Amino acid sequence: MKLKKYISLTRAGIMDSLQFRLATFVMVIGNLLYLIVVYFLWKAIYASSGTDIVNGMTFTDTLIYLVLATALFNFMEMYTVWEIGRAIQSGKIVLDLLKPMEYRKYLFWSYSGSFITQFFFTFLPTFIVVSAVTHGAIHLGMNLLWFVISVVIAVSINYSIDFIVGTICLYTESIWGINIMKQVVVLLLSGATVPIAFFPEPLKTIVSRLPFQSIYNAPLTILLESSPDTKDVLCTIGIQLMWCIIMMIVSKLFWKISLRQITVNGG
């Protein structure tokens, strides 16, 4: 019974996102273009550096890392901050709060449908193209399973961070600025723009202590490891789980406290 209400939200989400086939098509093209630019840029960089391995990463490693980071970003981006912000501005949030489901859960599950379509239409094609272009540099074995587990946790962490940032909108009533700040901070500190292996020393240590690297760096590192050491993998996933729980608690508490703040005009 409990599961049924979630599944019906997921189904509605799938139908909703299938309405925008053109959008998906444009997104695939955008990803391919990005892939091309990243490919040539890093090819030129590695050609100029004179060595094959920089900071423990080969050219194909870097390519896979960056392209899949973008694919993951597109897959995980749920526009949560926009959704919450707009619901607050329009007053629609009152109706959402009245629903017999926690708002945090409602929002997540109504988006879960587009996760599924995004996965099949953007992430999977990108993944296949990348593994074809790099001639099977992605090791296909146990690491895929760990990767999937890691991505699921990453989705949860990402959602919690988004939800916290969205909650800030209750106070500021500014969406664009808050969202762009979150986006650049997360993308840079999670290693999605430049792999964390390239970061200079003090910065690297700081970044590895922050929750952001669990979103992109952790799953991608697991994926790229061709002979995974179970202990290392479990350690990475353990850290992810820890952040997942911490962020979940923080986002829930913050929302609960902030709800007292809410003012909705008219209605």
Out of 7, 95, 145, 173, name the contact with another protein by CB under 8 A. Answer: 173
- Which residue reads 């060595």 in tokens? 51
Out of 8, 11, 43, 91, name the contact with another protein by CB under 8 A. Answer: 43
Residue 126 · residue 68 · CB < 8 Å: yes
Please report how close the Cβ of residue 36 comes to another protein at its closest, in angstroms.
Answer: 6
Angle (CA) 118 11 77, round 5°: 30
Is 15 among the residues that bind another protein (CB under 8 A)? no
Is 194 among the residues that bind another protein (CB under 8 A)? yes
Q: DSSP for 73-105, please give it.
A: HHHH---HHHHHHHHHHHSTHHHHHHSSS-HHH
* Torsion sign over Cα 8, 13, 14, 16: positive
Please report how close the Cβ of residue 266 comes to another protein at its closest, in angstroms.
Answer: 18
Using the rule CB under 8 A, give the single segment among 99-107, 156-164, 198-206, 245-253 that binds another protein: 198-206
Is 185 among the residues that bind another protein (CB under 8 A)? yes
Is 44 among the residues that bind another protein (CB under 8 A)? yes
Q: Which is nearer to another protein, 111 or 146 (CB)?
A: 111
Q: Closest Cα to residue 226, out of 147, 170, 172, 167?
A: 147
Beta bridge partners of 54: 57
Contacts with another protein, residue ranges (CB under 8 A): 20, 22-23, 26-27, 29-30, 33-34, 36-37, 40-41, 43-45, 47-49, 54-55, 172-174, 176-181, 184-185, 187-188, 193-194, 198-200, 203
